[in-house]
C-alpha cells in the first residue's frame, strides 16, 4: 500500500504541475485521477489539487529604497513542489532605467521560481514574511493555475509597472480575484481614508530625503482620499484586507483566508543613514545665510547678486525636473502645485540679475510666492519647503 502511494505521489508530482527551468516554471495540465486502493479495487476519486496550498506572501519593508514599501507574491505549494510567483522582477542595468521609471515607462515582469530562492533574501535583511493560505476550491486552484501559466508566457509576463495602480501587490490580488468562482467581499475599514502621500510618508518616515523627493514629485492628486482598492498598492494593506475578506456565492460565505502564519520572523534591521543633514536643516541653513547676507547688504548698501544667481539656479533646475514630470505616465504627478514656485522661469532672468536689472524679476517672484502660498491650501508640500519659500521672499526686498 505505502509503496503504491509513493509511486502515485511521484507520478502526480511529475505530471500535474510543471517542469522547472532556471527561472520560469511551466504548468502542466492535470485532471482528476482514478486510484485503486486494496485488492477489492474500491474505486475512489483522487484530485491532485487536494494537496495544493495557494498562499499570499507579504514581506515587510527593509532598508533598500525599492523595498521601503514591502512586497507581495504568491506561493504554490504541494509536497516537494514549492514555488513563488513574483511580479516584482526588474533590472537596474536596463537602458535608461531611472529615466523610464520617472516617466512611468518602467517594465516589470513575472517570474516563477523555487520558494527556497525567495525567502532567504528577506531573512538576511531582517524582513518578516507572513503567509496567508487562501481558501480556494480545487476548481479555483485550476483556474489560478491556468492564469499563472498564461501570465508566464514570454508575450505576457512583462507588464507596464505603475507604482500606485499596477504593481507587485495589485497583480497577485487581481489574479486571485479573477480565479474565484464567486465574489470577494471586503470588510471596509472605517475612518481609514488616507491619501497616497500620507501612506508613502508613513513608509519613508525613517528616510527623510526619500520622503522629501516623493513629496516634491507627487502632485495635488496624491492628496486626495483613497478607497480600499487604491490602498492595496501597499502589501501590508492588502494583507489586512485579505484577512477580513469573504467569498460569496449562492447565498454562502466562506473566508478568503483559511490560515495565517509567519514563516520568516522579523529580524534585526540596520537603518541605513541618510544624508547627514535633514531637509529642514538644509532649508534653515539657506535661510540663515540669506538673513546674514541681507544684513550685510543693508549695512553696506550693496546687493550680493551671486547669492541670488545661486538660488535662482537651484529653483530653476528643480523646476525643470517638475516640468518634465507633467509628461509622466504616473497619474499623480501631472498637476503639481510645486511648479507655482519651482519652475524654469528663474533661469531666464539670471542674465538680468547679473546686469543689476531686478525690478521685473522681483514682481514675478512675488507673484509666484503668493500663488505658491495659496496652493499650500490644497497640496501638502515637502518638508522644509516653506522655509525655502521664506528664503526666496527675503531676496525680493530690494
Domain borders along the chain are: 2-194+227-264, 279-394
Q: Is 182 left (phi over 0), alpha (psi -120 to 50) or beta?
A: left
> Quick one: how far is CA 370 from the chain centroid?
34
Closest CA to 239 of 222, 261, 254, 223: 261
Q: Is 312 left (phi over 0), alpha (psi -120 to 50) or beta?
A: alpha
Residue 92 has pLDDT above 50, yes or no: yes
Report the C-alpha gap between 42 and 143 in whole angstroms: 30
Please list the alpha-helical segments (H only) found in 259-358: 279-300, 305-325, 345-354
88, containing H or E segment: strand 81-89
In contact, 23 and 14? CB cutoff 8 Å: no
The tens digit of pLDDT for each residue in 145-178 reads 999 999 999 999 999 888 899 999 999 999 999 9
Torsion of CA 227, 232, 236, 242, to 10 degrees: 90
The pLDDT value given to residue 29: 33
- Contacts of residue 169, Cβ cutoff 8 Å, sequence gap at least 6: 70, 71, 72, 232, 233, 234, 235, 237, 238
| Beta partners for residue 249, in sequence order | 252
Q: Which three cell numbers stand for residue 90?
A: 526588474
The tens digit of pLDDT for each residue in 1-49 reads 444 444 443 433 333 333 333 333 334 333 333 332 333 333 346 678 8
The tens digit of pLDDT for each residue in 302-317 reads 888 999 999 999 999 9
The tens digit of pLDDT for each residue in 248-288 reads 999 999 999 999 999 999 887 776 777 899 999 999 999 99
Specify the range with the lowest mean pLDDT, choosing from 84-98, 274-288, 351-365, 378-392: 84-98
- Higher local confidence (pLDDT), 67 or 114: 114
In contact, 194 and 225? CB cutoff 8 Å: yes
**Largest Cα–Cα distance in the chain?**
110
- Contacts of residue 326, Cβ cutoff 8 Å, sequence gap at least 6: 333, 334, 336, 339
What does the mean pLDDT of the chain come to?
Answer: 85
Q: Parallel, antiparallel, or unpaired: how do β-strands 42-46 and 252-255 relate?
A: unpaired
Across 200-309, the runs of DSSP E, i.e. the strands, are 246-249, 252-255, 257-264
| Beta partners for residue 81, in sequence order | 78
- Contacts of residue 230, Cβ cutoff 8 Å, sequence gap at least 6: 164, 165, 196
Amino acid at each position: 500500500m505505502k509503496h503504491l502511494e509513493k509511486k502515485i505521489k511521484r507520478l502526480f508530482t511529475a505530471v500535474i504541475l510543471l517542469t522547472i527551468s532556471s527561472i520560469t516554471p511551466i504548468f502542466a495540465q492535470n485532471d482528476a485521477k482514478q486510484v485503486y486502493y486494496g485488492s477489492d479495487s474500491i474505486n475512489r476519486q483522487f484530485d491532485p489539487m487536494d494537496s495544493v496550498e495557494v498562499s499570499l506572501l507579504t514581506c515587510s519593508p527593509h532598508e533598500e529604497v525599492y523595498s521601503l514599501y514591502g512586497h507581495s507574491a504568491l506561493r504554490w505549494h504541494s509536497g516537494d513542489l514549492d514555488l513563488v510567483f513574483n511580479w516584482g522582477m526588474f533590472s537596474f542595468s536596463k537602458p535608461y532605467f531611472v529615466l523610464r521609471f520617472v516617466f512611468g515607462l518602467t517594465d516589470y515582469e513575472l517570474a516563477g521560481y523555487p520558494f527556497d530562492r525567495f525567502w532567504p533574501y528577506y531573512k538576511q535583511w531582517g524582513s518578516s514574511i507572513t503567509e496567508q493560505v487562501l481558501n480556494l476550491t480545487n476548481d479555483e486552484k485550476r483556474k489560478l493555475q491556468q492564469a499563472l501559466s498564461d501570465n508566464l508566457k514570454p508575450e505576457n509576463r512583462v507588464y507596464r509597472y505603475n507604482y500606485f495602480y499596477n504593481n507587485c501587490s495589485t497583480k497577485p490580488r487581481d489574479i486571485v480575484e479573477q480565479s474565484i468562482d464567486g465574489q470577494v467581499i471586503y470588510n471596509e475599514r472605517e475612518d481609514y481614508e488616507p491619501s497616497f502621500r500620507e501612506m508613502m510618508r508613513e513608509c519613508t518616515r525613517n528616510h527623510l530625503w526619500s520622503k522629501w523627493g516623493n513629496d516634491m514629485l507627487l502632485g495635488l492628486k496624491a492628496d486626495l482620499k483613497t478607497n480600499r482598492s487604491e490602498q492595496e498598492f501597499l502589501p501590508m494593506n492588502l494583507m489586512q484586507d485579505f484577512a477580513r475578506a469573504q467569498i460569496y456565492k449562492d447565498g454562502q460565505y466562506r473566508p478568503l483566508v483559511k490560515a495565517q502564519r509567519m514563516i520568516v520572523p522579523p529580524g534585526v534591521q540596520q537603518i541605513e543613514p541618510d544624508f547627514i543633514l535633514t531637509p529642514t536643516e538644509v532649508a534653515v541653513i539657506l535661510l540663515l545665510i540669506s538673513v546674514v547676507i541681507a544684513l550685510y547688504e543693508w549695512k553696506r548698501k550693496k546687493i550680493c547678486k551671486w547669492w541670488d544667481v545661486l538660488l535662482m539656479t537651484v529653483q530653476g533646475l528643480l523646476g525643470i525636473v517638475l516640468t518634465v514630470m507633467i509628461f509622466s505616465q504616473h497619474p499623480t504627478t501631472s498637476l503639481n502645485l510645486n511648479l507655482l514656485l519651482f519652475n524654469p522661469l528663474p533661469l531666464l532672468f539670471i542674465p538680468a540679475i547679473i546686469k543689476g536689472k531686478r525690478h521685473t524679476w522681483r514682481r514675478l517672484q512675488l507673484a509666484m510666492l503668493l500663488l505658491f502660498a495659496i496652493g499650500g491650501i490644497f497640496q501638502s508640500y515637502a518638508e522644509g519647503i516653506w522655509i525655502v519659500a521664506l528664503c526666496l521672499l527675503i531676496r525680493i526686498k530690494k
